[in-house]
Chains A and B, each alone.
Chain A
Amino acid sequence: MPRIFHALAIALLIGSAVYVYKIKYDTMGLRSEVVRLEKQIAHERDLIALLKAEWQKLNSPERIQMLSDGHLDLVPLTASQIVRWQDVPERQAPVDSIGDKLGTLGLIDHPTSQKSPDITGSVKKKD
């Protein structure tokens, strides 16, 4: 009986020693992983800062204006271009001038387009 007890105690002792050893080495591994990740985060952060700076440089108003002046036909917004919804003129009924001409000449049976104003619900003004 005491012999088994002794064997058990020794086994426990060795077992716990091995366990502690393992935990210790795992921690060391994790710690170096943490250091590695921290370094990576710092590096990524530096890269993000660089990209942000580059993004802003590319988006700086001065550069956008230069590109717009060089490549687009846009002109600066004037105050008179800002209008209310109700001041937006009604859309003109589509005019099929070729069809009308052919219709008046009697070449085809074409109803004059002014008779059927083709205004869809979304365009139609709601006041």
Chain B
Amino acid sequence: MARSFPPDDPYQLSATRLPRAEKKPRPSWPVRVWRALFSMRIDKSRPRLLIVMVCFLAIFGAISYRLVHYANQPEEVAQHRFPVTEIAKARPDIIDRNGVVLATDVKTVSLFAEPKRIIDKDEAVELITAVLPDLNAKELREKFASKKGFVWIKREITPKEREEIYRLGLPGIGFQPESKRIYPNGTTAAHILGYSSIDNTGIAGIEQYIDTQGLAALANAGLASDATKLAPVKLSLDIRVQHALRDELAKGIDRYKAKAGGGMVVDVTTGEVIALVSLPDFDPNNPKDALDPDKINRVVVGTYEMGSTFKALTTAMALDSGKININSTLDARSDLRYGKYKIGDFHPTHRVLTVPEVFIHSSNIGTAKMALAVGVEGHRAFLKKMGQLDRLQTELPENAEPQVQKYWNELTTVTVAYGHGLAVAPIQAVMAVSALVNGGHMVPPTFLPRTPEDALALSKTVIKPETSEAMRYIMRLNASHKLGTAGKADIEGYFVGGKTGTADKAIHGHYDGKHVFTTFMGIAPADKPRYLFMVILDEPQAVQGTYGFQTAGWNAGPVTGAVIERAAPFLDMPKRFEPPVAPFPAMVKLGAWGTK
């Protein structure tokens, strides 16, 4: 039967050719599908091949597509190379206005242990204490006995110690690279820089400011994990001036046996702090040193009754209000009386004084009368405008709220007029006096560089330019006139002006007249001020050479003079050999006292 098939069906697949007689019952459909899957019939193979081809094409196509897709994707791997912990540890360098390094990071290694992995704990303790003799063996043994997964053995070890520990070959002991903050100038700018903890987080000063500012910036940038990528933070400080100020102030404190002192050099056109010192200070390389409450930043955190330097504010207010002019006369013949209080002058003149005379004689009576002419409300509003009644915020996290009397009556105005009964931070007074002499533009002080244009844009005008000229005139007169109190700060060639202030300190609620707080505000050059120099001394004594005086003209004044003389060559303030021509034209025109 097999041979009878036609040759065109060589595989004998044609079911129709099967003899009808041998016809089997048709299998059920699952069996048919099963057979169809595994039977080979050439006439039906074409679509199968097609299916296989499509499948392969699809798979290869997908693979090719993914390859191309991956190749075009930006690389993201590189950003996660550094452990997250290093981000918090790297800090940007801090540099001064000339690029001198004030704070920088140095890489060190710290020694840690994973107690669970230490095999012989006693041996480990013995070997490690042999290399690091300053470690307490008992404490170390306790650390190793703890169930913690990780303990520090010693932070910041030297490369030599690292090498020796490494050679011990102890399991469970490891090294962690860390950044250590270094302040190469030591104490010089301590109060501005602040300091950072062993984990390299800012604790105080600009270091803390960087943390509050920097975190947001870091998150925005998304990288900057190591210090090399962090741009250095530039301050407005000049380390040379800073050192000169600190050194002269330290000498002054020593000479006048003062308890403490402070000083500041400010650019009055921009509000930039060029130098700021508070003594006693600390070494930021040894942060424990800073915790002593005697080492606070007196210029920023301390509040003091500024004494007669406040008379500059009162005089400016009176002149600016128009109720008093430079030629007005004030009767200082008799003391002022308020109930049991009597207000007299330290250098009594017992005569009628003009405004410049009131200023250079530092007459309490005259100044009080000027304030009374403006009135209690006007006086308060003016001090508010000058920022003397509110907390002053700078980049430094430290600041202080001025101590303002709750009930402000006429007596308050009288005492505040000459700088008693209102305690402010010295930096606040500096800001106000800067505004008085720079043409009336009040600029908040800053520790970061600022251009004069920026300063002008964010300044607010507080007094008229003519009033400012009058202030410069009387401050200059105070230094140049033989009766003035600021003569000891008048360094030739710099046309210095200034105002002294001696405030009695309240000891247990009383002014005993023995403890004083002296201040000096010097401006240079007085015809067009660029810098303001401030020196404060806490409880200076009358020493040899001061003729029994402990007033500012005899201590804070000469210290300021020394600072000006020493710092001027570093500052943008060339010495002048001829006195300026017509420095105060409006004053001459008005014929003010002292111009003839």
Contact = CB atoms under 8 A, between A and B. Distances in A.
Contact of B186 (A46, A60, A79): A60
B492 interface: yes
B577 A79 contact: no
A97 interface: no
B240 A61 contact: yes
A52 B187 CA distance: 18
A59 to B, nearest CB: 8
Interface residues of B, number: 30
Contacts of B227: 49
A61 B494 contact: no
B575 A82 contact: yes
Interface string B564-586: 01101100000101000000000
Contact of A62 (B100, B185, B491, B568): B185
A60 B185 contact: yes
B182 interface: yes
A79 B101 contact: no
B398 interface: no
Nearest to B101: A56
B493 A79 contact: yes
Interface string B226-237: 111000000000
B99 to A, nearest CB: 11
A78 B577 CA distance: 14
A46 B575 contact: no
Interface string B174-212: 000000001011111000000000000000000000000
A52 B101 contact: yes
Q: Main SS of the interface on chain B?
A: mixed
Contact of B243 (A65, A78, A83, A84): A65
11 contacts: A42-B226, A46-B106, A49-B104, A49-B105, A49-B107, A52-B101, A53-B101, A57-B186, A61-B240, A79-B491, A79-B493
Q: Main SS of the interface on chain A?
A: helix
A46 B565 CA distance: 40
Ranked 10 nearest A-B pairs via Cβ:
A61-B243, A56-B184, A57-B184, A46-B107, A60-B185, A56-B101, A53-B182, A82-B575, A53-B104, A79-B491
B139 interface: no
Contact of A45 (B186, B228, B491): B228
Residue of A45, A57, A87 contacting most chain B CB atoms (<10 Å): A57
A120 interface: no
A76 B186 CA distance: 22
Interface in A18-61: 42, 45-46, 49-50, 52-54, 56-57, 60-61
A127 to B, nearest CB: 16
A46 B187 CA distance: 24
A65 B247 contact: yes
B239 interface: yes
B106 A50 contact: yes
Given A60-B188, A61-B240, 12 more contacts: A49-B227, A52-B104, A53-B104, A57-B182, A57-B184, A57-B185, A62-B186, A62-B243, A65-B247, A77-B569, A79-B494, A84-B577
